[in-house]
Structure 1
C-alpha cells in the first residue's frame, strides 16, 4: 500500500467515524426532546422512536467500528461497477 492509499483510507475511515458521531449526537438531542414531550404529556410513547432509531444507530456503529478495515465489500462492489461501466452496458439507468 502506498502512502497515498493509506492517506485515502485513513480519511475515509475518519469521515465514517465522524458521521457516526454526528448521528449519535443528533439521536441524543432529538430523543431528549421527545422524552421531554413524552413526560410533559404524561405518556410513555417516546420509548418507541428511541428504540427504533437506536437499532439504526447500533447498525451504523457496527458498520463503522466493527467491520474489517478497508471495506472489502465496498471495494468489490466498486470493482464490479467499474467492470460493468467499462463494458459499455447499454440501457443502464445510472
Structure 2
C-alpha cells in the first residue's frame, strides 16, 4: 500500500510540475506578444502591464499550490489508521 501511495504521489507531483511549466510558457509567450503589440501601436500607455500583473498573480498561486504538501483524503486517512491497528 505504501509503495502504491508513493508512486501515486510522485505521479501527481510530476503532473503538477508539467502543468506549471506549460502555464509559465503560455504566460511568457502571450505577455511578450502583448508587450510587442502595445509598444508598437500605443507606446504612450503601457497597458500590457495589467494582464502581466493579473496573470502573474495566477502564476504565483499555481506555483504555491503544488509546493504545499498534498492533501490526504479522508478515506486515505481512515485506511492508514486501520492498517496501523493490524
SS of match in other structure, 1:16: helix
Q: Give the counterpart of 1:44 among 46, 61, 66.
A: 46
In the alignment, the residues of structure 1 paired with residue 16 and residue 46 of structure 2 have an alpha-carbon distance, to the nearest angstrom, of 33
Tell me, which stretches of 5 or more residues in structure 1 are unaligned?
A: 80-94
Pairs aligned (count): 73
Shift of residue 55 of structure 1? 0.3
In the alignment, the residues of structure 2 paired with residue 34 and residue 71 of structure 1 have an alpha-carbon distance, to the nearest angstrom, of 37
Tell me, which stretches of 5 or more residues in structure 2 are unaligned?
A: 76-86
Aligned-CA RMSD value: 1.3
Shift of residue 39 of structure 1? 0.5
In the alignment, the residues of structure 2 paired with residue 55 and residue 10 of structure 1 have an alpha-carbon distance, to the nearest angstrom, of 26
Shift of residue 3 of structure 1? 1.2
SS of match in other structure, 1:55: helix
* 1:1-94 matched pairs, under 5 angstroms: 2-41=2-41, 42=43, 43-65=45-67, 67-68=68-69, 70-72=70-72, 75-76=73-74, 79=75
What is the TM-score normalised by the length of structure 1? 0.71
What is the TM-score normalised by the length of structure 2? 0.77
Higher percent of residues as helix:
2
SS of match in other structure, 1:4: helix
